[in-house]
A and B are shown apart, each in its own frame.
Chain A
Amino acid sequence: MIEVVNLKKCYGDLTVLKDINNTIQKGEVVVVIGPSGSGKSTFLRCLNCMEDPTSGSIIFNGVDIADMKVDINEHRQKMGMVFQHFNLFNNKTVIENIMLSPIYVETRRLKKAKSSNVKLKIKKAFGSKIQKEIIEISKTKSQIKEDARANALELLKRIGLEDKADVYPSQLSGGQKQRVAIVRALAMNPDVMLFDEPTSALDPEMVGEVLDVMKSLAKDGMTMVVVTHEMGFAKEVASRVLFMDEGNIIEQGAPEDVFSNPQSDRLKSFLAKVL
């Protein structure tokens, strides 16, 4: 699903990622661990080109999205991302946060379909023999909004926050914010979800509720890439663990192997510190 080929990322003279190659299969839960400054967050942010790779390619669903000519926004809609600091839109209510992008994307598609239909009709009226079909328009603008709203409420119900639909993010606790951030990403029906240290900014007692949402996502078969310091989560949920250090993937494998039978000295000393 995502193929990372010779990925390199530099900030000026500083090389953060050195030639990374990896493939993430559909349905995998890949957990990235490593000391801070090892490049794991940068690696994750390169996957949806939040950071533009210095060189190399990111092949997502068959398209190299690291190519500057590609419409990155369209592909990002299929890659949900969850941040350490939630990044909910402060000027929008919870439900508006979730509906904003689905409504925007759908109405834009609707407008495009309508205008191309009009053009087609005019051309046909002048006897042009274009073989293009009229695009079927199944929804009106208000239906799009209604559907987005229903979908958002459904998602909120899933995380038990349907009563918070109309409050602003500033009135939520950290754990609630992060759960809303997760469903905001889910509202786009992404093919893959990227998590950038989703529990690092939370009070310890709120970590559990966020991890539970992530676990249920994994159980439903969502493809996930998770950068985290939660070793328990990695052991329990990961189908594969990547250990990164100094911009390289040092070791990878099933969690049992990585945690109980580390090969490299670097991973051994890391695990000794965190476990």
Chain B
Amino acid sequence: MGNFDRKIELFKESFVDGGGYKTVLDGLQNTILIAVVGLLIGIVIGTFIATIRVLPKYKTLPKVLNGLCSLYVGLFRGTPIVVQLLVFYYVMLPLIGIKMAAVTVAIWVFGMNSGAYISEIMRSGIMSVDIGQMEGGRAVGLSYGVAMRKIVIPQAVKNILPTLGNEFIALIKETSVVSFVGATDLYVAFNYIGSNSYEFMVPYLVMALIYIVIVFAISILIKIMERSLRKSDRGR
């Protein structure tokens, strides 16, 4: 294992003395920034789309909007996120002539992508609430919107939150593709450290560890959340 000690030695040199930790911190910051802001944008887009998709479809406008939303969801679920990233950065932006930092592009693409997935999470969460809840609300004279807001959605949230946590975990891991458009994330940072010393084994190991720690922390948070939700399920 003398060989391995040497490798750790090299990693330390590059990480601490070579200032590699700064790049890693940068990368970590970007990874979390893209995942968190992406998730928030995704929640906004997802809520909007899910709302349209569960509307009763007697009239023309909801039908048209519903079609558009299906198209959106189909497009973003039907292509890999790397492709979406490349298309936005190298095709769409030059076409409309806007310059944007790679990280900003990544945030938007991840937001739009997770919006498609989150809309489905929310839709199925709302649909899983018994139709009788809505009918009970309508029968006492509440409008569709009020019954949705006061009765259906609070119950749907219980189904939605845990799955939303999983979506967040997936986002964190997927951010490792932003290097395709030249943004610095964890992968780029450790790759940089590795290429300084021509030694990749330890840097990649540490990178994997960091991902595991982040995801582990999030899944613990989700579990705590789930437990407290289930408590209120049983009542007082």
Partner-B contacts on A (CB < 8 A): 48, 50, 73-74, 76-77, 80-81, 83, 85-93, 100-101, 104-105, 166-168, 170-171, 181, 184-185, 187-188
Q: Which of B133, B151, B235 contacts A171 (CB 8 A)?
A: B235
Whether A167 lies near B235 (C-beta < 8 A) is yes
Q: How far is the CB of A63 from chain B (nearest CB, A)?
A: 14
Q: Which of B130, B139, B236 contacts A50 (CB 8 A)?
A: B139
* Residue among A48, A91, A101, A185 facing the most chain B CB atoms (10 A cut-off): A91
Whether B140 lies near A170 (C-beta < 8 A) is no
Whether A104 lies near B142 (C-beta < 8 A) is yes
Whether B135 lies near A76 (C-beta < 8 A) is no
Q: How far is the CB of A60 from chain B (nearest CB, A)?
A: 13
Whether B133 lies near A87 (C-beta < 8 A) is yes
- Give me 19 other A-B pairs in contact (C-beta within 8 A), A101-B142, A181-B136 excluded: A50-B135, A73-B138, A73-B141, A76-B138, A76-B140, A77-B140, A80-B140, A81-B139, A81-B140, A83-B136, A90-B155, A91-B155, A100-B140, A101-B141, A166-B236, A167-B236, A168-B234, A168-B235, A184-B140
Whether A188 lies near B140 (C-beta < 8 A) is yes
Q: Within 8 Å of chain A (Cβ to Cβ): is B143?
A: yes
- Give 4 closest A-B pairs by Cβ, nearest first: A87-B136, A77-B141, A168-B235, A101-B140
- Cβ contacts under 8 Å, A168 to chain B: 234-236
* Residue among B136, B154, B233 facing the most chain A CB atoms (10 A cut-off): B136
Q: How far is the CB of B96 from chain A (nearest CB, A)?
A: 43
Q: Which of A83, A85, A166, A187 contacts B139 (CB 8 A)?
A: A83
Whether B132 lies near A83 (C-beta < 8 A) is yes
Whether A89 lies near B138 (C-beta < 8 A) is no
Whether A105 lies near B141 (C-beta < 8 A) is yes
Separation of A85 and B143 alpha carbons in the complex (Å)? 21
Tell me the nearest residue of chain A to B234, going by C-beta. Answer: A170
Residues of A contacting B: mostly: loop
Tell me the nearest residue of chain B to A169, going by C-beta. Answer: B235
- Cβ contacts under 8 Å, A170 to chain B: 233-235
Q: Within 8 Å of chain A (Cβ to Cβ): is B137?
A: yes
Whether B132 lies near A87 (C-beta < 8 A) is yes
- Cβ contacts under 8 Å, A80 to chain B: 139-140
Q: Could you list some 5 contacts between A and B, CB below 8 A?
A: A86-B136, A89-B133, A92-B151, A100-B140, A104-B142
- Cβ contacts under 8 Å, A100 to chain B: 140, 142, 150
- Cβ contacts under 8 Å, B225 to chain A: none
Separation of A134 and B236 alpha carbons in the complex (Å)? 45
Q: Within 8 Å of chain A (Cβ to Cβ): is B146?
A: yes
- Cβ contacts under 8 Å, B235 to chain A: 93, 167-168, 170-171
Whether B236 lies near A89 (C-beta < 8 A) is no
- Cβ contacts under 8 Å, B142 to chain A: 73, 100-101, 104
Digit string of B113-135 for contact with A (CB within 8 Å is 1, else 0)? 00000000000000000101101
- Cβ contacts under 8 Å, A73 to chain B: 138, 141-143
Whether B135 lies near A83 (C-beta < 8 A) is yes
Q: Which of A74, A90, A184 contacts B133 (CB 8 A)?
A: A90
- Cβ contacts under 8 Å, A104 to chain B: 142, 146, 150
Tell me the nearest residue of chain B to A170, going by C-beta. Answer: B235
Whether A50 lies near B138 (C-beta < 8 A) is yes
- Cβ contacts under 8 Å, B154 to chain A: 91
Q: How far is the CB of B218 from chain A (nearest CB, A)?
A: 26
- Cβ contacts under 8 Å, A92 to chain B: 151
Q: How far is the CB of B230 from chain A (nearest CB, A)?
A: 12
Q: How far is the CB of A140 from chain B (nearest CB, A)?
A: 22
Whether A185 lies near B234 (C-beta < 8 A) is no
Tell me the nearest residue of chain A to B141, going by C-beta. Answer: A77
* Residue among A85, A166, A187 facing the most chain B CB atoms (10 A cut-off): A85
Q: How far is the CB of B112 from chain A (nearest CB, A)?
A: 32
- Cβ contacts under 8 Å, A90 to chain B: 133, 155
Separation of A48 and B138 alpha carbons in the complex (Å)? 10
Separation of A93 and B140 alpha carbons in the complex (Å)? 16
